[in-house]
Amino acid sequence: MWNGVKRLSALAAILLLTIVVSACNKGDASGKVQIEFFQNKPEAKGSFDKLIAQFNQEHPGIEVTQVNPPEAETVLLTRVVKNDVPDIVGLGATDTYSILAQSGIFTDLANTELPRTVDPIYLKMLKDVTGVDPVYGIPYAANANGVMYNKKLFREMGLQVPKTWDELIATAQKIKAAGKIPFYFTYKDDWQTNLPFNALGPNLVGIDFFLQRRENQVTFQDKYREVAEKQLELLKYGHSDNFGKNYADGNRAFANGQGLMYIQGSWAISEIRKANPKVELGFFPFPTGNDAKAVKLVSGIDTLLAVSESTPHKKEAEEFIAFLLKPENSKQYITEQTLFSAVKGVTQDDPSVAELLPYFKSGRVIDFADHYIPKAVQLNSIVQAFLQNGDIDAYLAKLDREWNKVANRR
């Protein structure tokens, strides 16, 4: 028996030792500065891998490694709990970023060269989202939310790109009358249900609404009735199983010509092309109202780059971000990902998004609504439930109630 005990304690000692050793492993053996780059886009892993390989080659003293787990935002939050913030974080400008920025875990980069290379409109967007002044993140790439359409099928039916809400509905009616699917909805995934919401809200009500909502000066019940009505209106022009198909189903179906329009973000383009490389895609901003000139393109920061406050390698981290922001590297990234660069002077040349470029050029862009809504409100599930039961009063009341509840808990 004593033998067994000895063996057990030996085992325990080995266990302890491995824990100690693996804890030490964080320090580097090669003499290089190790930088961890954590980012949340699985689609972008390959693109970043290429850029990182190039950076590591050019900087023999630094070694950047990419970490891209599934459910990245949740993983990031749990790592912050453990005080184990990655050196560089790549994240969308969402409520998660906003919470993290407010918790002061990122370095203020306002006094570096980095913010000067990017478009000020995105820096302002970050300020609005977080409600804080320091530049905790450098906008890197932006996306667009609008209506994708199948150019070939549009041509065959002789349809024009709609510029106003009425034209959009008229187009949908024509398509429906021809026995085809106007919009391919993928509302089994709750985050898909809020794409029209994200376009309608900021355009019809404005982003200021959320800043005032935070101060409790306005309510959804006052301002969002039109948004809700239009959300419901769209549902008439879907297919037979709007709530049964998810995002992946939709990308496949739309790529193969089911549905002429697809309310979606630019992030889906690469997925759709994977399903059918020959599909002719077009993309127009969501015409939310009847003044064609007032329509703004909904565009949010798809990825921003932030440096941890606690990292001992701030200088090297900034060097890596500066490398990513170089026009040629940014161009390579947005070309592969069909995104839009936040870097001044870098343009997206993909024909599928050509119709969106004038909006970027003239600054007619507006941020996503849900970037301003606390995550705990769980907007997506509220919208999804509303589209199922169609009760506008209950929906708007629920938005206000949930918002207040969350504000009260903070």
Partner 1 sequence: MNKRLTTFYWMTVPAVLLFFIFLTLPALQGFYYSLTNWNGFGHQYHFVGFKNYINLFQDDNVGNAYWFTFKFAIVVTIAINILSLLIAMGLNAKIRFRNFFRGIYFLPNILSVLIVGYIFNYLFSNVFTIWGQNLRISSLSTNILGSEQLAWVGVVIVAVWQGIAFNTILYLAGLQTIPTSLYEASNLDGAGKWREFWSITFPLIAPFFTINMVLAMKNSLMVFDQIVALTNGGPGRATQSISHLIYTGGFRGGEFAYQSANSVIYFIVIAIISILQLRFLQRREMDN
Residues that bind partner 1 (CB under 8 A): 1, 5, 73-74, 77-78, 80-81, 96, 99-100, 102-105, 187-190, 240-246, 249, 374-376, 378, 381-382, 384-386, 388-389, 405-406, 408-410
Give the integer Cα–Cα distance in Å for 185 and 163.
Answer: 21
Shortest distance in whole angstroms from residue 337 CB to partner 1: 24
Closest Cα partner for 359 from 291, 284, 266? 284
Structure tokens at 93: 């400008």
Q: What are phi and psi of 291, to 5 degrees?
A: -105, 105
Nearer to partner 1, 226 or 249 (CB): 249
Beta-ladder partners of 396: none
Shortest distance in whole angstroms from residue 120 CB to partner 1: 29
Nearer to partner 1, 54 or 102 (CB): 102
β-strands 297-298, 261-265: how paired? unpaired
Nearer to partner 1, 230 or 239 (CB): 239
Q: What's the burial of 140, exposed, middle or buried (CB within 10 Å: 0-12/13-18/19+)?
A: buried
Give the integer Cα–Cα distance in Å for 34 and 39.
Answer: 16
Give the integer Cα–Cα distance in Å for 138 and 123.
Answer: 8
Beta-ladder partners of 148: 262, 283
β-strands 33-39, 88-91: how paired? parallel
Shortest distance in whole angstroms from residue 102 CB to partner 1: 8
Shortest distance in whole angstroms from residue 25 CB to partner 1: 24
Nearer to partner 1, 242 or 348 (CB): 242
Nearer to partner 1, 22 or 240 (CB): 240
Nearer to partner 1, 9 or 173 (CB): 9
Shortest distance in whole angstroms from residue 309 CB to partner 1: 10
Shortest distance in whole angstroms from residue 226 CB to partner 1: 22
Query: Which amino acid, residue 14?
Result: I
SS3 content of the chain, % helix, strand, coil (to 5): 55, 15, 30
